[in-house]
Copies of this chain bind each other. A is one copy, B any other.
Amino acid sequence: MRSPSELTEAFRAEGLKVTPQRQLLFRLLHGNGHHPSADSLHAAASAQMPGISLRTVYQTLTDLTAMGELRQVSIGCGPGRFDPNIDDHHHVVCERCGTVSDVYVEGADQLAIEGLDGFSAVTPSIVFHGECVSCASLVPPNHNSPKEH
C-alpha cells in the first residue's frame, strides 16, 4: 500500500474525496503488519477520532481493496483481516492467539499439483497454521478460541 500522501493523490485522481476519516485510516494502515480486522481498525481509529463509524471503516477498506492498495486475508475463521502488503506472499496464523504474520514461500507458483482436472489459471493461497513464539512458551495448549492480536 502506498503512503498516505500518495493515496491522497490517487484518491483525488479517481474523483474520490479525501476526508479526515480516510486520512486517518491511511495512516493507521500504512506499513501496518498486524493484519487488522475492520473492527480492530475501528477501535484504533476511534481512539484518535471518537465517533468515526464502523461503517466508514468498512467502506474505506473496500475502496482500498478495490484500488489494489489492500488485500483481504482469509485465515479460516473469525473476521476478515486486511493486509497493506500487496507483495506476492502468504501467511502464518497462530492457532492459539490468532496472530497473523507474512511469510514468503519459495516456489509456491511451481507446485506439482495432482487432481487438477480441468481447472485453469490457478493461483495458490497458502496459510500455515502453527504456534507463535509467545504462545509456544506458555502452558500446554488449552484450545482457547483464537483471539485477535
Among A5-13, A17-25, A44-52, A131-139, which stretch is in contact with chain B?
A131-139
Question: A94 to chain B: which residues have CB within 8 Å?
Answer: 119
Contact check: which of B105, B112, B117, B130 meets A133 at CB < 8 Å? Answer: B117
Task: Say whether A124 contacts B127, CB under 8 Å.
Answer: yes
Contact check: which of B101, B102, B126 meets A125 at CB < 8 Å? Answer: B126
Contact check: which of B121, B126, B132 meets A124 at CB < 8 Å? Answer: B126
Task: Say whether A77 contacts B74, CB under 8 Å.
Answer: yes
Task: Say whether A103 contacts B130, CB under 8 Å.
Answer: no
Closest Cβ of chain B: how far from A132's Cβ, in Å?
Answer: 6
Question: A125 to chain B: which residues have CB within 8 Å?
Answer: 76, 126-129
Closest Cβ of chain B: how far from A121's Cβ, in Å?
Answer: 5
Q: How many copies does the complex hold?
A: 2
Task: Say whether B122 contacts A92, CB under 8 Å.
Answer: yes
A15 part of interface (Cβ distance < 8 Å): no
CA distance A124 to B129 in the complex (A): 6
Closest to A76 in B: B74
Task: Say whether A123 contacts B115, CB under 8 Å.
Answer: no
CA distance A122 to B105 in the complex (A): 13
Closest to A123 in B: B129
Question: A106 to chain B: which residues have CB within 8 Å?
Answer: 111-114
Measured CB to CB, the residues of A under 8 A from B are: 74-77, 89, 92, 94, 101-108, 111-133, 136
